Amino acid sequence: MISKIETQEDVRGLLSIFIETWGAETLSEFVVSMQETNCLLAKNEVTGVVAGYLFYALDARGFIEITDVGVAELFRGNGYGREMVDHICGLADCVRLSVKESNRVARKLYESVGFQVLHVTQNYYGVGADGLRMEWQLNG
């Protein structure tokens, strides 16, 4: 089930997944994401527990930029990431994102939805950690 942030429990769940994914030392990035982007949540249909989040921004050039996706370890492999990405792709004609080249699970998800690699940016995520710029188009 896709939703916006509705309760304090949603915020706690989102924060917990963010820290699980990126570490407590990145809390300042969490605050920036909350201020500068929009957020979708994927919730477990039975319990209502936040299973994942997706931060995105509306770019002035007319596309949606996915800036971060995270799914709680307990819920990984159950389709929550795909549900959120599919939902975002239903909101625009074009969606873009960057993903670490070595993140095979995320790449497989994005490719299965129809994202194409536009280019590789060397050392985008640090020395030796290249990034892939990917794009999904409605009629692509």
- The tally of domains found in the chain comes to 1
How far is residue 45 CA from its own chain's centroid? 20
Q: Which of 107, 118, 123 has the alpha carbon at shortest distance from 63?
A: 118
Which amino acid does the sequence have at 18? F
pLDDT at residue number 36: 83
Tokens of 23: 């570490």
Rounded average pLDDT over 68-79: 94
Q: Which of 81, 117, 113 has the alpha carbon at shortest distance from 97?
A: 117
pLDDT at residue number 8: 93
pLDDT single digits (tens) 90-100: 999 999 999 99
What is the chain's mean pLDDT, rounded? Answer: 92
Alpha-carbon torsion (64, 13, 15, 52), positive or negative? negative
Confidence of residue 43 (pLDDT cuts 50, 70, 90): very high
CATH number, domain containing residue 18: 3.40.630.30
Q: Provide the residue range defining the domain that includes 117.
A: 2-137
Percentage, residues of the chain above pLDDT 70 = 99
Give this prediction's pTM: 0.90
pLDDT at residue number 140: 65
